Structure 1
């Protein structure tokens, strides 16, 4: 190497046999002999060259910046500025890694303290795989590979609702009248239906049909309603009377008067029976008292066609042909809440069994909406335009879902998820308005009735348990039969 330098610097006065050091540390810096290789190169570059004061001298050396380097990929820790001992250790390590352990550049004395151990045969430019970082818990989707300690629940398969009724009953003379309520299902699993001037009972376990009563040619059945417990059945008539029957003995217990016109709506609360009439009034009747009614509720301006007590028996909701929805308490004779947002008759009413004070109501042909109310805060929670006349509503007691039946113009049955109000199923089959609706005591099955003179049974809700109890309801008797 020295002979090469000599050839390059033949004009120099240095001798190859000169034993003096190349740099004299006793001389001032401006009088040093340019005897180092870098200074010799500088002399060649700057020979016979006088830089112009207006030009900026730019060197040709590329000095990379390590500030943004990811040294963790090489098992090398980035040098920390301001610490000469660590800088020198880093430089020694880098030289040994680049040129090998035999290059004359030893490793620093305490590599473990600064950088950790590094294999001698390791190439610094060989990348290592980065350690997987644990994903934050707020990530909406999980990674392809399961993370340790994280359990991913399987995606639930959407519940399938059968699109066809499992049973159809012929119901001759079932009236096509929006304002009547002619079907109800008891807690003892007995279905009652008013056909013309007669009332029939259908036992869901045995499929036995019993004729309960015949009102005669001068009267007709306008509403039926089972007591919450026991075997008592209320029958509202076209002549404005309310009859109480003991269905187990097929015996009439009592006849109550008071209404001047037909009784199209009935609702039980323990021993208290509420009846709504075309005469615009609601009577509260205690079957234990001698009087026909204990109080009279006034407020509607047209026929009362919907009545429902809340599950805690504290509030009574009423709907009328005046497009009004009222809420009454146990002692009021005037409505404590009034809602006038519907633009058609309000027959469809349902209280939620899951949340206190949650009430649903549906409007007729000119309205078509299902509205939800919080009677505790006296506020409207939401509104859904169904596109068809809303005839009935019933809430599932097993899951937070609701069923609506419709008339003009779709004649369909819709199962909704609440509160999203997304459609779970749309069921069709009736050729007339689906005016009547009741739910089985186990909460799994609904029965619908229409002016096409049929009753159709649908499995729409899951069981409250993990297994169905179809055999208990007598569902094995499929097919089409006649209710009378």
Structure 2
């Protein structure tokens, strides 16, 4: 029996009996014995002194100096030492997935950013490649969970009372080599007997990624990022409210430089001076070509307006007092010339009449009129004029008369219903004609205006530094169709004639990207290309008559020519018509 007592089993039995006596360990004489605090199994100085081999003749004494492994277990009220589980952690695949454990975002519509950052170098091909890469990375790293819901940990309140020590978790296998059963709620319903199952795939990527890589993609055209021609333009004003560059239907570019206007012929690159207003002490503030022909209207900062024949370089009409302040915007509608001034009015003149007075005036802006554009689609809305002002408003005018009731509008403006005998008709504000529509959504000056040549009645407008938005309007119903936050000041807008795309030029920006020339696809509003080259804000924009080339001007005193659009009928989706005789006449 002495051998049984000194055996490890006997020691453990005596230790369990001692633990029942309120944790007191007594020797043969009934005195309390101090026990070592260090477990002798893990070594140490104290352990080495006490971990001696018990004598064989100590049977029945119960006074062994050795300590068993169970003596190191924590007792009630005693201080517990933290356990060391090591530095290796193997996650359980059944406890959750990556999305649930790390709170990864689910696939869904992303919240649009408040300010859109235009990249300095970007095009449609790069954007498409980045989108495909992001999608594949999302599928491979954080695939969608096959479970219907996130697993929840079941907690039994009675299993672990408060203050009790944690128990060792149940040992489970990390990998289970059994077929998934349909009775288990945590196992998705899969058919492993299907040859197309993902477990039998030899591809290194998932089936969704492989399908995305193998699917055909839309062929995108590439846009040259460098201008094919750069011209010096000394004294080109760096003023947001001026319009000093325009391209005629006869392929002649008109540019206002200081007090002079120069003509640059595209087919032979010849330059000629049209006029010089330095002897009058005046400065050119706006130039505009008639839709078809060689007539060029030139406006000045003192409110004068002149019409020249570019073929003979002769002055044909002069309006010495067209406005009381500078004229920053001009727009033609056949023989009708409209001018917007800093005096907040818009005047309409028939250049065929000998009278210099306007036959109609439009007053709807409270500050300078800095943008004017006639709709030139030839449809029912060809008599519609869009105006933008420094008061952040966009007005739509119909010279045939307002379609809305305007009772009391004349009294609001403080004007009387009188007839102007010099003009031969009643002026617009005296008639009490209100704008057909007035849009208030912009929060900065509106200079950029462009009518969609492909969809009648669609107008694009761009706001200044405090707005940075391009908005699209349906003027037939007076509603906003789309809006795009460009993150930069919008200086000009122009639609492509060969594709349903829009060009915007930009200036000041709150981000690093500024002075950009962006091409947008409509109506998706995806960026086709972003062109850089100007060191100042791009304030001037014009398009060649064939619709393939655009020219931009900036305060850096340069004019840059870009091949922005494909040829007519090549990529625009429609073939050239042999009945289009207008293209054959030069």
**TM-score (normalizing by structure 1):** 0.65
Is the 2:500–2:522 Cα contact (8 Å) retained in structure 1? yes
Determine which of 380, 383, 386 is the counterpart of 1:314: 383
| Cα distance in 2 for residues equivalent to 1:406 and 1:380 | 22
Worse overlay, 454-463 or 332-341: 332-341
Unaligned runs of 5+ in 2: 1-194, 196-207, 402-427, 429-433, 577-586
Is the 2:383–2:400 Cα contact (8 Å) retained in structure 1? no
- Residue of structure 2 in register with 1:432 after alignment: 536
**Counterpart secondary structure, 1:408:** strand
CA RMSD of aligned residues (A): 2.2
- Residue of structure 1 in register with 2:293 after alignment: 230
Is the 2:501–2:522 Cα contact (8 Å) retained in structure 1? yes
- Residue of structure 1 in register with 2:517 after alignment: 413
| Cα distance in 1 for residues equivalent to 2:394 and 2:492 | 14
Shift of 1:303: 0.5
**Counterpart secondary structure, 1:173:** coil
- Residue of structure 2 in register with 1:363 after alignment: 463
- Residue of structure 2 in register with 1:213 after alignment: 275
CA gap 1:467/1:377 in 2 versus in 1, 3 angstroms: closer
Q: Does 1:341 align with 2:447?
A: no
- Residue of structure 1 in register with 2:392 after alignment: 323
- Residue of structure 1 in register with 2:309 after alignment: 246
Shift of 1:299: 1.0
- Residue of structure 1 in register with 2:410 after alignment: none
- Residue of structure 1 in register with 2:359 after alignment: 294
| Cα distance in 1 for residues equivalent to 2:436 and 2:555 | 36
- Residue of structure 1 in register with 2:557 after alignment: 453
| Cα distance in 1 for residues equivalent to 2:296 and 2:518 | 29
| Cα distance in 2 for residues equivalent to 1:251 and 1:382 | 45
| Cα distance in 2 for residues equivalent to 1:242 and 1:353 | 28
- Residue of structure 1 in register with 2:483 after alignment: 383
| Cα distance in 2 for residues equivalent to 1:466 and 1:357 | 26
**Counterpart secondary structure, 2:241:** coil
- Residue of structure 2 in register with 1:76 after alignment: none
Instruction: Spell out the pairing of 1:11-50 with structure 2 (5 A cutoff).
Output: none
Determine which of 175, 183, 187 is the counterpart of 2:237: 175
| Cα distance in 2 for residues equivalent to 1:224 and 1:423 | 30
Deviations 1:8-59 (A, max 9, x none): xxxxxxxxxxxxxxxxxxxxxxxxxxxxxxxxxxxxxxxxxxxxxxxxxxxx
Determine which of 314, 323, 332 is the counterpart of 1:259: 323
**Counterpart secondary structure, 1:335:** coil
- Residue of structure 1 in register with 2:493 after alignment: 393
Deviations 1:158-207 (A, max 9, x none): 11000111100000000000000000000000000000000000000000
Q: Does 1:269 align with 2:369?
A: no
| Cα distance in 2 for residues equivalent to 1:224 and 1:401 | 25
Deviations 1:302-344 (A, max 9, x none): 0000000001332000000000000001234331110010000
- Residue of structure 1 in register with 2:74 after alignment: none
| Cα distance in 1 for residues equivalent to 2:389 and 2:555 | 21
| Cα distance in 1 for residues equivalent to 2:310 and 2:283 | 19
Deviations 1:325-369 (A, max 9, x none): 000012343311100100000000000000110000000000000
Shift of 1:154: 6.7
Q: Greater CA radius of gyration, 1 or 2?
A: 1
**What number of residue pairs does the alignment pair up?**
324
**Counterpart secondary structure, 1:389:** strand
Shift of 1:156: 3.9
Shift of 1:155: 4.5
- Residue of structure 1 in register with 2:504 after alignment: 404
- Residue of structure 2 in register with 1:25 after alignment: none
- Residue of structure 2 in register with 1:54 after alignment: none
Worse overlay, 324-333 or 386-395: 324-333
| Cα distance in 2 for residues equivalent to 1:394 and 1:459 | 14
Shift of 1:254: 0.7
**Counterpart secondary structure, 1:393:** strand
| Cα distance in 2 for residues equivalent to 1:456 and 1:383 | 28
**TM-score (normalizing by structure 2):** 0.53
Instruction: Spell out the pairing of 1:186-205 with structure 2 (5 A cutoff).
Output: 186-205=248-267
| Cα distance in 2 for residues equivalent to 1:169 and 1:467 | 29
**Counterpart secondary structure, 2:488:** coil
- Per residue, is there more strand in 1 or in 2? 1
**Counterpart secondary structure, 1:290:** coil
| Cα distance in 1 for residues equivalent to 2:547 and 2:383 | 22
Deviations 1:55-95 (A, max 9, x none): xxxxxxxxxxxxxxxxxxxxxxxxxxxxxxxxxxxxxxxxx
Q: Does 1:285 align with 2:337?
A: no
